Amino acid sequence: MKDIKFYKLLVFVNALVPLALVGWDWRRGHLGANPLDFVTRTTGTLTLVFLVLTLLVTPLRKLTGANWLVRLRRMVGLYAFFYGALHLLCYVWFDKWFDLAAMAQDVARRRFILVGVLAFTSMVPLAVTSTDRMIKRLGGKRWQKLHRLTYLAAAAGVLHFYLLVKSDVRKPLAFAAAVALLLGYRLYASYTKGATPLSLKAQSPPR
> Residues interacting with ligand HEM, by CB under 6 A?
37, 40-41, 44-45, 47-48, 51, 84, 87-88, 91, 95, 113, 116-117, 119-120, 153, 157, 160-161, 164
185 vs 32: CA distance, rounded Å: 39
The answer to whether 128 and 180 have CB atoms below 8 angstroms apart is no
Could you say which DSSP state residue 196 is in? S
Rank residues 80 and 135 by Cβ distance to ligand HEM and give the closer one.
80
128 vs 146: CA distance, rounded Å: 11
Could you say which DSSP state residue 94 is in? I
Q: How far is the CB of 133 from ligand HEM (least distance, A)?
A: 25
Rank residues 6 and 94 by Cβ distance to ligand HEM and give the closer one.
94
Rank residues 91 and 143 by Cβ distance to ligand HEM and give the closer one.
91
Q: How far is the CB of 113 from ligand HEM (least distance, A)?
A: 5
Q: How far is the CB of 153 from ligand HEM (least distance, A)?
A: 6
46 vs 48: CA distance, rounded Å: 5
148 vs 146: CA distance, rounded Å: 5
Rank residues 135 and 158 by Cβ distance to ligand HEM and give the closer one.
158
